[in-house]
């Protein structure tokens, strides 16, 4: 059945899921049973007459109102949870960014300054897969990673973008799903509750990994767009974070940026210039989730 749960809101969703399942289960059993009982019981017999019973407004009102009340309760519960889950992330949330491309996921962290640097899709090439604009100072200490690390018990805000077609970040164990949309950054925040090691012990499966799958058709390799997620104890996470080397130490990337910025005329004017050209190029301004593109 449902994959094991490893996030705070996942537990709430699980309860709501089973409550709803119970409600629709009851409706299912009653209606299907009546359908088959009536069909069986009122089979045609010679000489019998069907009961001429064309309408009864009182019954109609009853079976309109009762489902309406039940639905109202489900809507209310769903709305409360939805508002909480999609509401703004806590201020102290750990931020990371996932970028979808055909056919894998790229991950970056903001580095020591805790600010994700500006990226610009026109600066992308084989060595600079994110399109970092290194004239932005806050980009210099960003680092990329081949898997996602997050600490247990701490809110995590995943910023999501795509650089080609639609993808979707789908992390079934954390009950997280959000599209990656080219030209429109999206986001999702959650709090992991169980470390990878704890989950391995719980499931008795030493090879278990939390996985991120692409869940929006994106082409040939759609079914193989996998990224592993590691939930660490907070201390382990801090140690892992400290051990990563910033992109400014990546000589290939620096050389590639220099070349691309000459070609495109981008990457000038320092942090402000980088921001301004990214805004001009992409129309992107950092915005809270509540004000996100409301197309």
Report the site for another protein in 241-280 (rule: CB under 8 A): none
CB of 239 to another protein, least distance (A): 25
Q: What is the dihedral of CA 282, 287, 291, 294, to 10 degrees?
A: 20
Nearer to another protein, 135 or 162 (CB): 162
Q: Does 110 bind another protein (CB under 8 A)?
A: no
CB of 242 to another protein, least distance (A): 29
CB of 223 to another protein, least distance (A): 4
Nearer to another protein, 45 or 91 (CB): 45
How many residues line the site for another protein (CB under 8 A)?
A: 99
3-state secondary structure of 278: helix
CB of 198 to another protein, least distance (A): 16
Strand order in the sheet with 176-180: 148-151, 226-232, 210-214, 167-171, 176-180
* Contact between residue 161 and residue 180 where contact means Cβ atoms under 8 Å apart: yes
Report the site for another protein in 211-230 (rule: CB under 8 A): 211, 213-224, 226
Q: What is the torsional sign of CA 114, 93, 241, 252?
A: negative
Report the site for another protein in 124-183 (rule: CB under 8 A): 124, 131, 160, 163-166, 168, 170, 172-173, 175-179, 181-183
- Tell me, residue by residue from 70 to 109, as one string, x for binding to another protein by CB under 8 A and - for no binding: -x--xx--xx-xxx-xxx-------------xx-------
CB of 132 to another protein, least distance (A): 13
4-19 as b/e: b if 16+ CB within 10 A: ebbbbbbebbeeeeee
Q: Where does residue 1 rank: exposed (0-12), middle (13-18), buried (19+ CB within 10 A)?
A: exposed
Report the site for another protein in 5-64 (rule: CB under 8 A): 13, 16-17, 20-21, 23-24, 27-28, 31-32, 34-35, 38-39, 42-45, 48-56, 59-60, 63-64
Q: Name 168's bridge partners.
A: 179
* Contact between residue 192 and residue 148 where contact means Cβ atoms under 8 Å apart: no
Cα–Cα distance between 286 and 284 in angstroms, integer? Answer: 7
């Amino acid at each position: 059945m449902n994959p094991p749960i490893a996030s705070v809101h996942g537990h709430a969703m699980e309860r709501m899921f089973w409550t709803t399942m119970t409600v629709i289960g009851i409706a299912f059993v009653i209606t299907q049973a009546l359908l088959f009982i009536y069909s069986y019981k009122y089979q045609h017999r010679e000489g019998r007459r069907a009961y001429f019973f064309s309408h009864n407004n009182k019954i109609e009102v009853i079976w309109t109102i009762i489902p309406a009340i039940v639905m109202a309760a489900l809507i209310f519960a769903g709305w409360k949870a939805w508002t909480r889950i999609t509401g703004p992330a806590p201020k102290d949330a750990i931020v990371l960014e996932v970028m979808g491309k055909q056919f894998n996921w790229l991950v970056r962290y903001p580095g020591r300054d805790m600010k994700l640097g500006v990226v610009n899709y026109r600066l992308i090439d084989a060595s600079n897969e994110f399109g970092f604009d290194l004239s932005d100072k806050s980009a210099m200490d960003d680092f990329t990673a081949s898997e996602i690390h997050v600490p247990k018990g701490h809110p995590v805000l995943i910023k999501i973008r795509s650089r080609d077609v639609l993808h979707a970040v789908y992390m079934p164990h954390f009950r997280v799903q959000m599209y990656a949309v080219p030209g429109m950054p999206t986001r999702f925040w959650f709090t992991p509750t169980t470390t990878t090691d704890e989950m391995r012990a719980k499931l008795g499966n030493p090879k278990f990994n939390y996985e991120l799958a692409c869940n929006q058709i994106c082409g040939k390799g759609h079914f193989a767009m996998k990224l592993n997620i590691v939930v660490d104890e907070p201390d382990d996470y801090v140690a892992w974070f400290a051990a990563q080397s910033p992109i400014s130490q990546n000589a290939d990337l620096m050389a590639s940026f220099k070349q691309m910025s000459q070609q495109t005329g981008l990457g000038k004017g320092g942090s402000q210039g980088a921001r301004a050209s990214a805004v001009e190029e992409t129309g992107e301004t950092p915005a809270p989730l509540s004000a996100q593109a409301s197309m």
